[in-house]
Amino acid sequence: MYAKQKMRFKIGIFLSCIISSLCFANTICPSESQIEQLLKQKHLSLHFDSNYLSCKVLPNNPNQVVIAYAEEIDTEQDQEPSDFQLTFLTLDATTLRVLDIYPVKNRLVSDAIELESIALDMANYAVSENKNLVGIRANYMGRSQPNPYSTTLLNLYDLQNKKQFLDGLVVKQYTAETDTRCNANIEKRNSILIMQKNKTNQYFDIKVQSKIDQYKMSGTSEDCKESKHHYSQQSFLLKYSDAHYQIPQNFKDKYQY
For residue range 176-210, list pLDDT tens digits in order.
999 999 999 999 999 999 999 999 999 999 999 99
Angstrom distances, CA of residue 93 to CA of 43, 97, 200: 21, 8, 35
Rounded to two decimals, what is the model's pTM?
Answer: 0.85
Question: Is it the case that residue 213 has pLDDT exceeding 60?
Answer: yes
CA distance 108 to 49: 15
103-156 residue pLDDT tens: 999 999 998 899 999 999 999 999 999 999 999 999 999 989 999 999 999 999
Asked if 36 and 22 count as a contact pair (C-beta separation under 8 A), the reply is: no
Least confident of 29-43, 57-71, 154-168, 203-217: 29-43
3-state SS track over 80-116: CCCCEEEEEEEEECCCCCEEEEEECCCCECCCCCEEE
For residues 63 and 2, which has the higher predicted lDDT (pLDDT)?
63
% of the chain beyond a pLDDT of 90: 71
Whole-number pLDDT of residue 178: 94
Digit-coded pLDDT (tens) for 18-28: 333 333 344 47
**What 8-state DSSP symbol labels residue 201?**
T
Mean confidence (pLDDT) of the chain: 87
Amino acid code (one letter) for 159: L
The sign of the CA dihedral 72, 115, 24, 157 is negative
**Between the CA atoms of 33, 34, 39 and 42, what dihedral angle is there, to the nearest 10 degrees?**
150
